[in-house]
Amino acid sequence: MDISEVAKRTGVPASTLRYYEKRGLIHSVGRDGLRRRFAPGVLDQLALIALGQAAGLSLDEVHTMLSPNGEPNIDRQLLSAKADEIDTLIKRLRAVSDGLRHAAACPAPSHAACPSFQKLLKAAALGIFNTQAAPTRKAPRRPRA
């Protein structure tokens, strides 16, 4: 596949694909003239990258987790630590979702005045800053707007 084919299939722009290659996140299997050729496996790689990003990993983190050459085997502890981090994030997101849904349904004139909203808020806030135990990196980033 050439770069435009990959772009078409994945929706990831060609410029991004080149950028990813430069960062070592994906690899082309050679050149056809000067044009890159990609193996089909790159599609899975890109899915994985997008997934990692959705989970809040930086490209550097994605890179270290999914080292493409098999040898420098990935750190399993790091992996489960990341999984834990993501689970924490999920809990918070659920709180936000619940809070939003409540706010959408709540008849109170101001959300500040609604006690159950306050409760949700409080619960969600715990672990965001009131308890500053771990220096957890918490929130993902936002790709192409």
Q: Which is nearer to DNA, 64 or 102 (CB)?
A: 64
Residue 1 interacts with which of a copy of itself, DNA, none, CB < 5 to 8 Å by class: none
Query: Is residue 82 near DNA by the rule CB under 7 A?
Result: no
Residue 52 interacts with which of a copy of itself, DNA, none, CB < 5 to 8 Å by class: a copy of itself
**Contact (Cβ atoms closer than 8 angstroms) between residue 55 and residue 140:** yes
Residue 12: CB atoms within 10 Å = 22
Q: What's the token pair of residue 88?
A: 């924490």
CA dist., res. 145 & res. 139, Å (int): 17
What residue type is assigned to position 96 of the chain? V
Number of residues that bind DNA (CB under 7 A): 24
**Contact (Cβ atoms closer than 8 angstroms) between residue 111 and residue 117:** yes
**Contact (Cβ atoms closer than 8 angstroms) between residue 64 and residue 25:** no
**Contact (Cβ atoms closer than 8 angstroms) between residue 31 and residue 37:** yes
CB of 39 to a copy of itself, least distance (A): 11
Q: Given the rule CB under 8 A, which residues bind a copy of itself?
A: 10-12, 41, 44, 46-48, 50-56, 58, 65-66, 70, 74, 76-77, 79-80, 82-83, 86-87, 89-90, 92-101, 103-105, 109-112, 118, 121-122, 124-125, 128-129, 132, 137-143, 145
Strand partners, 95: none
Binding site residues, DNA, CB under 7 A: 2-5, 13-16, 18-19, 22, 32-36, 53, 58-60, 141, 143-145
